[in-house]
Chain A
Amino acid sequence: MSAELFRTCPESGLQFHKPAERLMKAHAVASIVFLLIGGVGALLVTLTRWPAVHLLPADRFYQLLTMHGVDMLIFWLITFEIAVLYFCSSTLLKCRLATPKIAWLGFALMMIGMVVNNLAVMNGDASVMMTSYVPMPANPNFYLGLILFAVGALIGCFVFLGTLVIAKEEKTYEGSIPLVTFGALTACIIAVFTIASGAIILIPTYLWSIGYINHIDPAMYRLIWWALGHSSQQINVAAHVAVWYAIAAIVFGARPLSEKVSRTAFFLYIAFLQLASAHHLLVDPGLSSEWKIFNTSYAMYLAVLASMVHGLTVPGSIEVAQRAKGLTNGLFEWLRKAPWSNPIFSGMFISLVGFGFIGGISGVIMGTEQINIIIHNTIYVPGHFHATVVIGTTLAFMSLTYFLIPTLFRKQVMFPGLVKWQPYLFGFGMAVFTLAMMGAGTLGVERRHWDMAFTDSMLGFDYPASAYTFMGIVGISGTAAVIGGAIFVLVTVLSVFFGKPVDSESAWGFTTSRVLRAEPIVVPEGGHAAAGKWGFAAPGTFLLAIFFLVIFVIYYVINWKYLASVWPIS
């Protein structure tokens, strides 16, 4: 361990392995470039789905929607996640990164793949949506780009695992890995399964597109493609939950309520979360109800249980930390006096609430075998997943970035006054956007659809006026969220490339960050529960959790009622 290979961040106390640091920077910057490209797509697509604007012609719309889906869901999130993996292994374990050269090879493959794929889409003969369902053909480079990217990302996963092995061997830590690293490990494991499935299906599809194979079975394709498509959302879930725990630790010095519960919850993710790929096949021909019910429910909703546990323990750990600091009045003083103008915290908290209340509830409900009949492929579906991957994952990653700009890039965050508002604009814009999409979806408005008025069709159909209102709200709130996203990209790029270096502690960034210097939380007389109520260490959080459950139950019942009003089918 030669000393010059490491640098200790004077403010946070984090220790960076320099080769790992360079890799993290490269991945973070590249991912934000994808976010920017995907964001341009988001704006144009949203303005087209806004009926009063209807901006793009049909072919451009489908082309840009393909681009938006792939660049956002695959390139932006996975590239950022590789940076998170390196941070959680090398930095948090204070360990050298395994094989930085091979990690750079992975990075190069990801970049090449991304360029090859985007050029294919730009060429105009790969507007097949990110799902590229066979037998609709795309330019072969579309698949090739995805394959190259996947191989690169897989290399990143193995570098992460290799670093865990080195850290253990070189004993850079004692006992077990930190909880956040364990969350990252969960994401990595899911990523390995995801990418392997992707390879199993995309390689034959590539060979089919260049004429070496003459048939790919569409049912088989969907089965295995969704092991890629949906599991990659589970990488995001595991990663952003890990980021929530990290930010609770960074901002409040919070410690998990119990390692056992939080880690077991992550374990339930590892074992069961990926089964939910079946969500997409609930109304497909030929799969039995037994298969559908077992898989769509993650084997009896064990992964939902895990998410509900994280949803309690993350804010619960914040509440305990706040109460230990003396914010013990009533049920919610700890929350009222939280640092709401610190975007690292506010973004994380909006991400948590939005993910749980909007994304989580809608996801479980539309993943119910029979209820899916009234939701499949309506715009309810993008409504749901923008709440998970945008409010949940993307916003959590944005918050983390505000922490990484001073610690990793050693630059001051520019325009702090503006940045304070960014999570609110982005988060609330997206919240309205997703709810309006769900409203329109409930009225049967379709996803991936250029013209809800069907003007070019021989047979017409009229949606109710309220569906148009909902889509108008989608347009307006989507545009607001795009502005929020643009502020993030702008501030990050300007700060990283043109920002003032961090010199003194006062200029360091958002002030509440304590990280490794954290004063240990003083356990009050009689344990944490004594600072709480009813023998609960985190009574305020518990009340919020009950509130969540009540909404969940009500909305669940409403959906069954709606289903019961549909024509009998068997």
Chain B
Amino acid sequence: MSAIQPPAEIVWWKQPLDRVEGTWIAIALTWSLIMFFMMPFWHIYGKQNLSNEAYRTTPQAFLAKTQAMVDEYTVRTETAANLPVVRPPPGSDVYLVGRLWQWWPLLEFEKGQTYRLHISSMDWQHGFSLQPVNINTQILPGYEMVLTVTPDTSGEQTIICNEFCGIGHHTMLGKIYVTEGGQ
């Protein structure tokens, strides 16, 4: 009987498998397990893992911490809007605000150093997409995400918003400049 008719046998569970099915199931199961164990393996041996460190926060509290950092470590301003460029000390906690429609402030890191980058949103959901290195995470209001990053290439990286956040979404950019070490 074909697949649109009831099975011919009343007891079909005992039908023997064809060899082609058995072989393929064994191969596919093996591959599935390899893919599964690859994820914990990468947590141990790989270098690109989200720690999933996160905190509950409020836009006001987060903005206050960011402002304190900006006041202390701004090194210059850029563009007609005088956006601050902040150069925090290596190893420190760095704060980045996502809001309609900018990533604030601009940041300057040193190559090879590690930073604890805290990111949160002041309003709607945003997407943190660092290009061209290509790191993407989701940013929510009320939650503070911590990424511990170690830039290993120097030059200019752009933060693009990759979660739709209203009519100005496609203008929402930010920058992370990475300088060569020892400067």
- Is B32 located at the chain interface by the 8 A CB criterion? yes
Query: Which A residues between 391 and 432 are near B, CB-CB below 8 angstroms?
Result: none
Out of B6, B21, B40, B163, which one reaches A174, CB within 8 Å? B6
Total interface residues on A, CB under 8 Å, equals: 114
- Is B181 located at the chain interface by the 8 A CB criterion? no
Q: How far is the CB of A430 from chain B (nearest CB, A)?
A: 23
Instruction: Determine the chain A residues whose CB is within 8 A of the CB of B158 once the complex forms.
Output: 459, 461
Distance A569 CA – B175 CA, assembled complex (angstroms): 18
Closest to A459 in B: B173
Total interface residues on B, CB under 8 Å, equals: 90
Out of B15, B33, B43, B149, which one reaches A569, CB within 8 Å? B149
Instruction: Determine the chain B residues whose CB is within 8 A of the CB of A532 once the complex forms.
Output: 20
Given contacts A136-B165, A258-B17, contact A567 B52 (CB under 8 A): no
- Is A255 located at the chain interface by the 8 A CB criterion? yes
Listed residue (B12, B51, B127, B136) with the most chain A CB atoms within 10 angstroms of its CB: B136
- Tell whether, in the assembled complex, residue A59 and residue B167 are in contact, meaning their CB atoms are under 8 Å apart: yes
- Is B29 located at the chain interface by the 8 A CB criterion? yes
- Tell whether, in the assembled complex, residue A449 and residue B169 are in contact, meaning their CB atoms are under 8 Å apart: yes
- Tell whether, in the assembled complex, residue B137 and residue A373 are in contact, meaning their CB atoms are under 8 Å apart: yes
Instruction: Determine the chain B residues whose CB is within 8 A of the CB of A539 once the complex forms.
Output: 20
Closest to A514 in B: B2
- Tell whether, in the assembled complex, residue A568 and residue B19 are in contact, meaning their CB atoms are under 8 Å apart: no
Instruction: Determine the chain B residues whose CB is within 8 A of the CB of A515 once the complex forms.
Output: 4
Instruction: Determine the chain A residues whose CB is within 8 A of the CB of B171 once the complex forms.
Output: 451, 454, 456-458
- Is A210 located at the chain interface by the 8 A CB criterion? no
Instruction: Determine the chain B residues whose CB is within 8 A of the CB of A449 once the complex forms.
Output: 162, 169-170
Out of A297, A447, A536, A537, which one reaches B36, CB within 8 Å? A297
- Is B64 located at the chain interface by the 8 A CB criterion? no
Given contacts A309-B28, A458-B79, A461-B158, contact A450 B143 (CB under 8 A): no
- Tell whether, in the assembled complex, residue B164 and residue A58 are in contact, meaning their CB atoms are under 8 Å apart: no
Out of A305, A368, A377, A451, which one reaches B163, CB within 8 Å? A377
- Is B160 located at the chain interface by the 8 A CB criterion? yes
- Tell whether, in the assembled complex, residue B174 and residue A459 are in contact, meaning their CB atoms are under 8 Å apart: yes
Instruction: Determine the chain B residues whose CB is within 8 A of the CB of A377 once the complex forms.
Output: 127, 129, 136, 138, 162-163
B48-59 to A contact mask, C-beta < 8 Å, 1/0: 111110100000
Instruction: Determine the chain B residues whose CB is within 8 A of the CB of A178 once the complex forms.
Output: 1, 3-7
Instruction: Determine the chain A residues whose CB is within 8 A of the CB of B106 once the complex forms.
Output: 459
Query: Which B residues between 107 and 149 are near A, CB-CB below 8 angstroms?
Result: 123-125, 127, 129, 131-145, 147-149
Given contacts A260-B12, A261-B17, A542-B23, contact A374 B136 (CB under 8 A): yes
- In addition to A174-B10, A260-B15, 12 A-B residue pairs with Cβ atoms within 8 Å of each other are A173-B6, A175-B6, A246-B4, A293-B40, A302-B32, A370-B49, A377-B129, A378-B136, A449-B162, A459-B173, A536-B18, A567-B135
A–B Cβ pairs within 8 angstroms, 10 of them: A136-B125, A175-B12, A219-B143, A285-B143, A373-B135, A374-B135, A377-B163, A378-B134, A536-B19, A537-B18
